[in-house]
Amino acid sequence: MAVRFPYHFDGLGRTAIADEDRYVRDLIEQLLFTAPGERVNRPDFGSGVMQMVFAPNSEELAGAVQFLVQGGLQQWLGPLIAVESVDVTADEAALRIDIRYVNTRTRERRTETFTRRTAP
């Protein structure tokens, strides 16, 4: 069990706790939506996806995001997950990121989806 992200309190006023699946999902979310340079002690942590949402939506953008996400997941979360696929879809005004992975500790296969709106 681990602390939930973002940090908050549960209904009893205690620190909210995450189970294994939620903890890994929270780590992926942190990686995706942290900009490189945002963390003082880890300036190269992050994927750069948030900067991409301001670029015009296109298949090229989706390809660039897929490359950034795949590399970031392997670099930062490689010991925790085995990435099977990263699919990025550019739909109208949104980027949809589908990540399929296996939790290396539990051997459980999961798929997580993250969506962010892009600039017009």
DSSP letters for 63-76: HHHHHHHHHHHHHH
Total domains present in the chain: 1
What CATH number is associated with residue 35?
3.10.450.40
pTM of this prediction exceeds 0.75: yes
- Model confidence over 35-94: pLDDT tens digits? 888 989 999 998 878 777 667 777 787 888 899 899 999 999 999 999 999 998 877 777
> Which of 45, 16, 44, 10 has the alpha carbon at shortest distance from 28?
45
Whether residue 4 is contained in a domain is answered as no
Q: For residue 29, what are its two tokens? A: 């979310």
The strand ranges marked E within 1-120 are: 2-3, 17-18, 81-91, 94-103, 109-117
Whether residue 59 is contained in a domain is answered as yes
In this prediction, residue 115 carries a pLDDT of: 87
Tell me the residue range of the domain where 103 lies: 21-117
